[in-house]
Amino acid sequence: MDALGYGFEDIELATLHERAVPSRVLGFRLGRLAAHRALRQLGRDDGPILSGTAREPLWPPGIAGSISHAGTNAVALVAPSDHTDGVGIDIEERRPAPELAEQVPRSEEWDWIQASPRERHDELVLALFSAKESIFKAFYPRVERFFGFEAASLVPAPGGFRARLVSDLDSEYPAGRHFHVGCRWRGDLVLSWLILPQSEVTGPTA
């Protein structure tokens, strides 16, 4: 019996590793619940959301989506794929994360982090990390390969960050392409999201 009541929970849970720790199971379940609620708003909650080989959620045909969970919080973002080139979402709990400071910022990103008061550095690094995670999730279904934190360079902008690709991701998203990543703190959670506008489709010329 599906405890959360959306009808596909048992099928989805069966895909988790049988020795998955309770926190992993909780995050997975909360993320799926958020995703099904979001799909229902589009009238497309019509099957289980399984996972691909890189753990990416497999959405119904014609849907772009993304899931994130942290502790007892989960969020999902979905959109018709004829309206967007991809969407990504991420939440992170406020925490000291010295390892992120070593891994995430590019050298030019350190310039604006260090120009801010020292007591804000941890939250800026965490927001930058979250924004880059949402970039990864938005692009993974297009590029189907891993790319690291160095692939995009972000600067603070109203409502989040202005991102510039530093590496080519694909022919429509070459190095130099810009887009906006939303980012906001709510209490001790930071939420980031990316909704890529749909690239113009050019038909064959006569």
Residues that bind ligand COA (CB under 6 A): 27-28, 31, 51, 54-57, 67-69, 90, 132-133, 135-137, 140, 147-149, 151-152
Q: How far is the CB of 206 from ligand COA (least distance, A)?
A: 39
- Distance between CA atoms of 10 and 3, rounded to whole angstroms? 9
Burial class from Cβ neighbours inside 10 Å (0-12, 13-18, 19+) for residue 168 reads middle
Strand segments, DSSP code E, in 44-131 are: 50-51, 57-58, 63-70, 73-80, 84-93
Report the residue number, 57 or 105, with the smaller CB distance to ligand COA: 57
Taking the complex as a whole, the smallest distance from the CB of residue 18 to ligand COA amounts, in Å, to: 15
Query: In the complex, what is the shortest distance from the CB of residue 15 to ligand COA, in angstroms, rounded to a whole number?
Result: 9
- For the CB of residue 119, give the shortest distance to ligand COA in the complex, in Å: 24
Q: Which is nearer to ligand COA, 57 or 204 (CB)?
A: 57
**Tell me, what amino acid is at 100?**
L
Q: Among residues 47 and 201, whose Cβ is nearest to ligand COA? A: 47
Give rounded-to-5 percent helix, strand, coil for the chain.
35, 30, 35
* Residue whose Cβ sits closest to ligand COA: 140
Structure tokens at 154: 């972000």
From CA 189, how far away is CA 206, in angstroms rounded? 53
Amino acid present at 149: F
Query: Which residue, 118 or 181, is less far from ligand COA as judged by CB?
Result: 181
Nearer to ligand COA, 41 or 53 (CB): 53
Buried b / exposed e along 132-149 (16+ C-beta atoms within 10 A): bbbbbbbbbbeeeeebeb
**How near is the Cβ of 202 to ligand COA at its closest, in Å?**
27
Contact 131, 124 (CB under 8 A): no
Phi, psi of 160 (to 5 degrees): 155, -120
> CB-wise, 42 or 143, nearer to ligand COA?
143
Min dist. Cβ of residue 130 to ligand COA (A): 8
